[in-house]
Structure 1
Amino acid sequence: MADKEDQEDELTALASIYDNSVLTLSQDGEEPGGQFVACFPLPHPFYIQIDPHREKQEDEANLNKVTQDLTEVKFLPPVTLNFGLPPDYPSVHPPQFTLSCKWLTRHQLSRLCHKLDELWEENSGCVILFMWTNFLQSEAYDFLDLSSPLDLSNVVCLRRTSKSDNVLAPRTNPSEDTPSSSDPRGIQDIASQQLLLPAIRDFSHQEQLRQFQKSVYSCKVCFMEKLGSLCIQFSQCDHVYCKDCMKDYFVIQIGEGNVAALTCPEDQCQSQAHPAQVKELVSPELFTRYDQLLLKTSLETMTDVVYCPRPVCQFPVIMDRESNMASCPSCHYVFCVLCKLVFHGLSPCKIKSDELKKLREEYQAADEMGKKFLEKKYGKRTIEQALEETWSSEWLEQYAKQCPSCGTHIQKIDGCNKMTCTKCRCYFCWLCNHTLSRTNPYSHFNMSNNSCFNRLFEGMGPMDGDFFDFEEEEDFLNLI
């Protein structure tokens, strides 16, 4: 009866110390016992190095040649103590127990088992569970001499399936370990080395989320303190804001189409919100709009993706960079990625002058990275064409005029304002661009009701030797 009372008192005390996420006791009607989950407190930052793949070489020396990469984790999977209390505990026998863990080796688990035995021997006849749980939770990390980076490349030892086979498999038989390093109560709770890294990452993420949800944070927008379960945390910067403030912020930005602006509100912080966080806070309709805008923004940054130029289609298409051709899988329209017209093979593109001008302005305003991006997107040949043709068109617009008959560009170097087209021999006025009479082209400048009256020599400047003055010009016009 004394042992039973001691057991009940001990289990009641443990239940008052640890919550049900750490300690789980047997239900009524079952043998007294339970399960204790001990997570080792890790220094920050803490790294592990692990390689889940081993080379399948016949030479034993090559089995240890592994590449090791560092991975930062904040939590490691726990060491689980499963215990049962015999009827004569604590007066005669210690609790029966097993220790299980995913990332400790069998040798390390055996050391922990032996240490629990030593603690019982030192305190025989007394309740021991609190001393065990306290040791596992607070002292086991130092007892095992763990440190960062922690090498977990050889947690699951490998053996050959046969002497003639190079296939490797986990060593599941405890007898394959040396007697000093193997205790049957130490259970390695992982099926293979390949599963170890995903298991550690998943647990670390879940434990971070659990710790976040039960902690209290101050929102930097409304300055109210709330539980982490009512907040979101930007993963890249760890800044925390309440969900109510972020919901209003996300709704406004998505409504205005600024999906790239869903960043941390902290000044000069560019951490982006995760799509899962956005989905949690906004309505399904708004998230669909966000998802579509995000996809469009991502496609626009890809140098090998263009949109089908047909207004009724606009489907994203992967282009062939060598030929500048793209074939829309939706409407089957085959087009040139440069001019967006039907694919014309090796023939030069017919790009509109206003589009070339816009491309030139965009290219000239871009920085070095922007220029490289445009050159990749449109090709250097198109960029050079845009620069040359727009400069040519601007020069012609400023210094030349088109013949009203055939459209040929004519530059006036000197002489009067009666021009003769070098191509079609048409006479036209340089000032108003009207066609002049073939028989008497100068009569245009002698008509008083004409805006070009007496302006035949306008713009010529001083004549050599002052051959003409204003009065002589009037006499000449009167003659014609």
Structure 2
Amino acid sequence: MDDQEEQDDELLALESIYDETVLSTIKDTDDKGGQFTACPHLPEKFYIQSEPLNKGNVESGLHKIQHLPPIVIHFQLPTNYPSIAPPHFTLTCKWLTHNQLSSLCQRLDELWEENKGMVILFTWINFLQEELFDFLQLSSPLDIRNIVISHNSSKNEENNLFDSRCIQDIVSQDLLLMAILDYNKQMKADIFERSMFLCSVCFIEKQGTNCICFMDCDHVFCKECMRDYFVIQISDGNVQNLICPHDKCQSEAHPSQVKALVPDDIYKRYDDLLLKSSLDTMMDIMYCPRRLCQCPVLLDRENNIGRCPSCQFVFCHLCKLVYHGLSPCRIKAAELNKLKEEYENADDEGKKFLEKKYGRRIIHQAIEESITREWLDNYTKPCPACGTSIQKIDGCNKMTCMKCRNYFCWLCGDSLSRSNPYSHFNMDGPCRNQLFQGMGEEEFDFEGDEFGEFEL
């Protein structure tokens, strides 16, 4: 078999082993060659070490990855290969230094010398995929902090420090980390989409293109089940509960995953509620009290003032009414009662948060107002004319408001005639003959219906 036949057979054999995403070949008679993308196999737990994101914490520079950008070998087969000459080649890589690439070139040359006269491409490819880490003595964490140097300087060219067949395919050191992380992310996504997964909600096996993976825990569920789950939770306002359905797992869905699954109107509600829940935890942010505005407002807590950037409403952040300067706050009873219940049901941390948010004076006012309101509800009734709270200490059920002098019935709350208020208790109805109902016997020792009906 002559060189041309051996070259054709070798390329055909490689094409039968590797798909077109890994190997591409050129079979022209005068220019045979191609390129191979070699992805070295990494250990299960593999990290790269970059410059720390937080200079006070070295651990912030560690990044766990599953895939490194490939080493690409471009090869061209001379007419007298494999009988006499080896293939011409170049090596391209982002995360290896020029010294390391030069060592690899030298090793490929050695492999050719050891197998001279035989086809060598498969041996080279197998070495780059399986033996590269051991040959270069690389391990986790892989230090990438000083990979790219000024290898184009005249000093390096004069001393021929690097093999001319080496190509470091990265512009600068600053771009290396992002290039590695982006490649790792893309490869994980590609592999995920080609794989099959069993959804533990509907128990149907589906391809990765029809599934989502929770980023923090790697639990996988089908998109259809998660779409229904997300829509129900968001519709109920539970935007903080979009957690992984796996038993005892607390991983949260990423907003991008939610957006990809739910309708636009549901995602808008999710986004608004998520923003609101975040703002609610911020001490210096509250919403404009105007019902038609509700724009987030940055507060000046020192002066208890807020100015809405949207409607320009200036308000007191304690009572949410128009700013009143040094005058005491006037807070609605319903809001004070709600604040009092929230404060009493909170734990120690929650109480401290509310005290910082509203101030102790408002908290104490809420508690006192609630106690006062509870007493008034239990022991007084409002005047039907002016609303003043009236307490009945003794006497009959014909009441006189000391503020507006209105007469009213203590039993039913109706206003009574100014000229003959007692006639109400002689008329047919629930209050008939009930003028003294509820009074103790120690006040009136009358029996029967001695005071049943009378004219005044």
TM-score range, shorter chain: 0.7 to 0.9
After superposition, residues 384-395 of structure 1 pair within 5 angstroms as 384-395=364-375
| Counterpart contact for 2:23–2:36, Cα < 8 Å | yes
Is 1:267 the counterpart of 2:259? The answer is: no
What is the aligned partner in structure 1 of residue 278 from structure 2? 301
Structure 1 residues 216, 431: CA separation in 2 closer, same or farther (over 3 Å shift)? Answer: closer
Q: Verify the 8 A CA contact 2:259 2:267 in the aligned structure 1.
A: no
Residue 144 (1) aligns with residue 121 (2): no
Preserved CA contact (<8 Å) 1:52 1:153: no
The one-letter amino acid of 1:43's match is P
Q: When the two structures are superposed, what TM-score results if normalisation uses the length of structure 2? A: 0.81
Q: Which residue in 2 is equivalent to 1:344?
A: 324
Match of 1:82 in 2: 74
Query: CA 1:327–1:175 in 2, change beyond 3 Å: closer, same or farther?
Result: same
Q: Distance in 1 between matches of 2:4 and 2:292?
A: 81
In structure 2, do the counterparts of structure 1 residues 178 and 270 end up closer, same or farther at CA, with 3 Å as the change threshold?
farther
**Whole-angstrom CA distance in 2 between matches of 1:117 and 1:66:** 43
Match of 1:118 in 2: 110
Match of 1:287 among 228, 245, 264: 264
Identical residues among aligned pairs (%): 55
Post-superposition shift, 1:72?
1.5
Partners of 1:7 and 1:224 lie apart in 2 by: 48
8 Å contact from structure 2 (residues 231, 266) kept in 1:
no
The whole-number CA distance in structure 1 between the counterparts of 2:37 and 2:427 is 105
Assess if the C-alpha contact under 8 Å between 1:427 and 1:435 holds in 2.
yes
Write out per-residue CA displacement over residues 68-124 of structure 1, whole angstroms, 9 at most, x where no aligned residue.
721211211111111111111111111111112111112211221111111111111
Write the distance in 1 (CA, Å) between the matches of 2:148 and 2:249: 42
The residue that corresponds to 2:203 in the other structure is: 223
Tell me, in whole angstroms, the C-alpha distance in 1 between the residues paired with 2:24 and 2:398: 105
Counterpart residue type for residue 129 of structure 1: L
The letter of the residue matching 2:142 is L
**Residues of 2 paired with 1:413 and 1:256: CA distance?**
49
Long gaps (5+) in structure 1: 56-64, 158-169, 437-442, 476-480
Taking the TM superposition and a 5 Å limit, the aligned residue runs for 1:29-178 are 31-51=31-51, 69-157=61-149, 170-173=150-153, 175-176=155-156
1:357-368 residue pairs with structure 2 within 5 A? Answer: 357-368=337-348
CA shift, 1:4, in A, is: 1.2
SS in 2 for 1:343: coil
Equivalents in 2 of 1:66, 1:253: separation in Å?
Answer: 38
User: Equivalent residue for 1:58?
Assistant: none
The alignment partner of 2:343 has SS state of helix
- CA distance in 1 between partners of 2:399 and 2:231 (Å): 65
- In the TM superposition, what whole-angstrom CA distance separates every residue of 1:358-392 from its partner, at most 9, and x where no partner exists? 12112222334443443444333322221121122
Alpha carbons of 1:52 and 1:121: their partners in 2 closer, same or farther (altered >3 Å)? farther
Q: Describe the SS at the equivalent of 2:31.
A: coil
How many angstroms apart in 1 are the aligned matches of 2:413 and 2:257? 65
The aligned amino acid for 2:5 is E
Query: Structure 2 unaligned runs (5+)?
Result: 452-456
**Could you say if the C-alpha distance between residues 293 and 307 of structure 1 is closer, same or farther in structure 2, counting changes exceeding 3 Å?**
farther
CA–CA distance in 2 between the matches of 1:461 and 1:51?
A: 90
Distance in 1 between the 2:236 and 2:339 partners? Answer: 26
Q: Partners in 1 of 2:398 and 2:97 — Cα distance?
A: 100
Structure 1 pair 326–15 and aligned structure 2 pair: CA distance change class (3 A)? same
What CA distance in whole angstroms lies between the structure 1 residues aligned with 2:297 and 2:93?
A: 50
Give the structure-1-normalised TM-score. Answer: 0.77
| Superposed displacement of residue 310, structure 1 | 2.5
- The 1:224–1:453 alpha-carbon spacing in structure 2 relative to 1, beyond 3 Å, is closer
